[in-house]
A and B are shown apart, each in its own frame.
Chain A
């Protein structure tokens, strides 16, 4: 971050006074108004803004819910029903928060697949990508603990299954688990601390998101062509171009969210969670929410408990190594036809694993999950390293402008950005 923005010059006395003491207006201006972005960004690049909006939505609805929720095992379920029935628009807060969590994951998966397709994880954006993996882990922890709070059957038994996983740690496993529980099984102490942490983690997440945006603004955005900004003609200011595009995309995203919130609010959930938690009655099929299903499938595919847990965590950890596993010198899949095939196979594998995560762990389902788990890791550990060495990429265009206009059209459109150094991102 530069100490003083050269894009913003305060005009009135109050602005000058503030800017000389805390240059926050200049910071916002250089980051979100004047910031140069490649002119060829497609709608896949709007999901960062959508994710920011979803985080704010979850925090706002969550804080309102927390004003009416009681985090005690004897009262939690009834307090959620109190919110649904008696709190004015409590039903709306609850359904926005529950469906908002699902749509948070819809957006984050699209955002991640975009990064994988266009090579956004490659140098110099490795730290940006790893911060993203950390954000994903925080999201998953937050969502898991949030789902426990209504204290339904799935809340209780999902918490039991997942916390029990830590018992596979050699030597100290059982001690760790009862430390997590605050007792000898999932119970009121567990619920209370999950509520505390569920309130805490989103704010830690917000901090990591700030780092994520900072790490992005150092090199600037990647783009569908995967080649850097070469001149002012390749870039456009964030405002008004990306602001209006992000807003349009966000509104369409909210239309889909509203479809669920207002017309099918319980569709993405599980009916068993409307049954109050009963430690004496185990549901016939314990399943997590849909966004955890692929990882659940990987966990259950391995017959050994310890190896299953390791595989599940490894399936996320392997993402952090992606910048070094992919050996291709070409960033964007737009110019890597062989990689494209394997990318879509990987997407199909993730969807397949998700489906299998919802099925009982029996018979053919287990075999299929094992095959797809093997393929999932093979994609990262075998296919990506080899592809970069053996594929024949298509020739890259000379510039972003050329990729839009073609070679002879380079004079057609005026430069949208001032060519001076002030408008460039800090480094290439």
Chain B
């Protein structure tokens, strides 16, 4: 049995080894960040989500939509948890199309808490026309719509370490990835270089600059967190994780309860099974009772 496993293992290892080098050249591995919501007991940092929303609003919302998120979600538990009054005031600053009215005409009205975030463009053709031919994608589920391959053996070990922050690590890295291209990289006129984007040429220009967005101040008048590109990138990415997974905290909380229940249940079943099978009197005979 051991011999067959060794042979099979060698067979498998021979398969795995030469292949990885070919793929690594395609994409620089994104930086790993520490996220408050990672791991089995992860939660969102309310203040970070609120700052992230501020970054989204000031730097991203001119081009990117958020059409799966409703204004009321901002006041619900598990998110930025603004107050209902703040949400109503926020919604009223935006206009949504409604209608038809009694004359059959469509009209614009201020948004309410129940409305979804209005997209900056009426359709993707308008979005593309205003942005050099490429429509900026909606960001509602962006944190789940992007990833990077970790390859063998990490796609196995990640199952045990619960690393599934590939999407947010990629996005936060990309936002910090607007650096000068290396000497030998041929960058055409007007093309934008990004270190982490596959192919390195990205349609989106850099939108985050140091001290561009004014964060809340503490008692001494200093920003509560540094106003750096790195901080803006992390905060807006955490916000995007919430827009993609608004029920993350509830999911992990219920998950803990379910796991504890199932583990205790499995323990009780194990001893019950042993007791029942013990009636067969096989245990002593061979050291096992099936």
Measured CA separation A378–B62 after assembly (Å): 60
Q: A247 touches which one: B15, B247, B255, B269 (CB < 8 A)?
A: B269
Nearest chain A CB to B98's CB is how many angstroms away?
19
Among the listed B68, B198, B277, B281, which residue makes an inter-chain contact with A81, where contact means beta carbons less than 8 Å apart?
A: B68
Q: Which listed residue, B167, B198, B276, B281, touches A271 by the CB 8 Å rule?
A: B167
**A270-290 interface bits toward B, Cβ cutoff 8 Å, 1 = contact, 0 = none:** 011011000000001000000
Question: In the complex, are the beta carbons of B73 and A263 less than 8 A apart?
Answer: no
Please give, as numbers and ranges, the residues of chain A lying within 8 Å of B126 by CB-CB distance.
Answer: none
From residue A141, how far is it (CB to closest CB) to chain B in Å?
27
A405 to B287, CA, bound (A): 10
A414 to B282 alpha-carbon distance, docked (Å): 9
- The reply to whether the CB of B162 lies closer than 8 angstroms to some CB of chain A is yes
How far is B5's CA from A284's CA once the two chains are assembled, in angstroms? 36
- Judge whether A262 and B259 touch: CB under 8 Å: yes
CB of B269 within 8 A of CB of A248, answer yes
By a CB distance below 8 angstroms, the chain A residues around B246 are: 85
> A262-B252, A348-B12 are known contacts. Are A39 and B4 too (CB-CB below 8 A)?
no
| CB–CB A352/B15 < 8 A | yes
Contact of B285 among A240, A365, A409 (CB under 8 A): A409
Q: Which of A266, A341, A352 has a CB less than 8 Å from the CB of B144?
A: A266
Write the A401-427 contact mask toward B (1 if CB under 8 angstroms, else 0): 000111001001110100000000000
Q: Are A345 and B11 in contact (CB under 8 A)?
A: yes
A262→B164 contact, CB < 8 A:
no
Report how far A271 CA is from B147 CA in the complex, Å.
6
A236, CB-defined interface residue at 8 Å: yes
Within 8 A of A (CB), among B1-58: 1, 3-5, 7-9, 11-12, 15-16, 18-19, 22-23, 40
Residue of B nearest to A272 (CB): B145
Which of B102-110, B178-186, B209-217, B260-268 lies on the face that meets chain A? B260-268
Nearest opposing residue in chain A for B15, CB measure: A352
- B290 interfacial contact with A, CB 8 Å: yes
In the complex formed, the residue of B with least CB distance to A271 is B147
B4 A344 Cβ-Cβ under 8 A: yes
Known: A274-B141, A348-B8, A355-B15. A261 touches B255 (CB 8 A): yes
A218-257: CB near B (< 8 Å → 1, else 0) gives 0000000000000000001000110011011001101100
Q: Which residue of B lies closest to A416 (CB)?
A: B280
Question: Using an 8 Å CB-CB cutoff, how does the interface string of A318-340 with B read, 1 for contact, 0 for none?
Answer: 00000000000000000000001
User: A274-B145, A345-B4, A364-B18 known; 18 other A-B pairs, CB under 8 Å?
Assistant: A81-B141, A91-B251, A92-B254, A248-B273, A251-B266, A264-B162, A265-B251, A284-B198, A341-B3, A344-B8, A345-B8, A352-B11, A352-B12, A352-B15, A406-B285, A412-B281, A412-B285, A413-B280
Chain A residues close to B by CB (< 8 Å): 39-42, 78, 81, 84-85, 91-92, 95, 236, 240-241, 244-245, 247-248, 251-252, 254-255, 258-259, 261-267, 271-272, 274-275, 284, 340-341, 343-345, 347-348, 351-352, 355, 359, 362-365, 368, 404-406, 409, 412-414, 416
Q: Can you sample 21 A-B contacts with CB below 8 Å? A: A39-B282, A91-B247, A241-B276, A241-B280, A244-B272, A251-B265, A251-B269, A255-B259, A262-B251, A262-B254, A263-B40, A263-B162, A274-B141, A275-B137, A275-B145, A284-B198, A345-B8, A345-B11, A404-B290, A409-B286, A416-B280
